[in-house]
Structure 1
């Protein structure tokens, strides 16, 4: 494959670059809407080679064009590649773009967890879901996606209180996993738990409560959904009561770890038992 001709841009106010203007401000205020931004070579490579979202365009610093020629040869012919001097790119983005690599993805329709489960996921059993409730931190959501991908989860389900896994930093922290791993987003945490149970999943609510069953003492069911709550408060009583409370063994006097770490420990345990 040969790389298509790049389109040179020399003005920061070029309307073709509108998707990339002030991207940090858009992340913090208006959200992504129907589009999202990918940053860096690693995540662009993931998007091109295994991503499930269509790309609208690429925007590169001119100095990155030649080093990325092999990767850019994989860009579909209908996806324009815009290039600009570094200072123009920085002015468009609103801050220094040291990586010099951006792409605009098209989000499309994302189902709610109930819709996703009613459609069915990968047919091969056993199957594992990672479910997130009220995770508003983009680093934690990105890390949870990375862990889910590393330890063989079939999908990630999130209630409406969780932040967008296609936030620029969440994609980067996930090592691009949120670009290809199936996920659903919307509804309440209870809606999500009830939908999983209706489809035959046993739901483990991860909690440090003393009365919870110890991870490692439970049989791994064929269909398992691992539920994680927000950093700090954890899962609310109603969600814990609606599921099977499970805790991770820890040293005396210390009862919690980062939510993504808790997910990694639990997923790794399940993955190890199934392989």
Structure 2
């Protein structure tokens, strides 16, 4: 448990070393200079320490969590500070009751644009999941979780999507946004064109009646599944650039949650490939 030798007790909620953890409900660290992100809970901390592609800057733990987490803390790099405080101090820093008593701060680093991501000379197994204008953190996190469950090779997000490293998105993703490769930025059309130019077929998921039923189509070897915002759905330009595909539903009902639609499409493709 080498990391326990580097425990740093904190007794003042205004300690400047804990600035990244202050009032985390109200702020998003990911967009600032030298962007950081916060993970919360044992599951995501374990992912951050064992599977993540991101560097760890620090940990902040309630004193009561040290003993139960001893085996996991042994995986903390020796140069990473582990701040610890009584539960009431931790609650004051975070701005709300931290029932799990487990926080960590990671370093975002450089996230590629979709065009850069797709041009990387790396073999990618599984379909790509493309997200356009998904601004809800729960939906974004769920899309990452679904992508991990059904073998996606990566995710591309346009500039109108929220950051998948936002604290709530990470939690909803069950830590998948920490290890699944992804790109973020640029317009939706730029994203789609980059994928098309790389030889992918793009299925634009839409409830439009003229779209082909998903089950009637062969699954291409290189497939990208495109999802748009709930409500407005995908804009005409993106649908026109891709192949419109729909999930058959009961008469009189044509709308499901965007993450659910992505899960159905990914599960269908996963099943076809397994078969």
**TM-score band, normalised by the shorter chain?**
over 0.9
CA RMSD of aligned residues (A): 1.1
Partner of 1:131: 130
Aligned counterparts of 1:54 and 1:164: Cα–Cα separation in 2: 17
Structure 1 consecutive aligned stretches of length 4 or more whose deviation exceeds 3 Å: none
Give the count of matched residue pairs. Answer: 271
Q: Does 1:251 align with 2:237?
A: no
The two structures have a TM-score, normalised by structure 2, of 0.96
Q: Distance in 2 between matches of 1:241 and 1:15?
A: 52
Q: Deviations over 1:128-170 (max 9, x none)?
A: 1000000000000000000000000000100000000000000
> How far off its partner does 1:231 sit?
1.0
Whole-Å Cα distance in 1 between the matches of residues 95 and 256 of structure 2?
35
- Structure 2: which 5+ residue stretches go unaligned? none
Aligned to 2:140: 141
1:225 matched to which residue of 2? 224
| Correspondence 1:158 to 2:157 | yes
Where do 1:164-183 residues align within 5 Å?
A: 164-183=163-182
* TM-score, reference length from structure 1: 0.96
Alignment of 1:9-48 (within 5 A): 9-27=10-28, 31-33=30-32, 34-48=35-49
SS state of the match for residue 25, structure 1? coil
Deviation at 1:99, TM superposition (A): 0.8
Distance 2:121 2:151 in 1: 17
Alignment-derived partner of residue 197 in structure 2: 198
8 Å CA contact 1:129, 1:225 repeated in 2: yes
Cα gap change, 1:102 to 1:32, in 2 (>3 Å): farther
Cα distance between partner residues in 1 of 2:230 and 2:114: 21
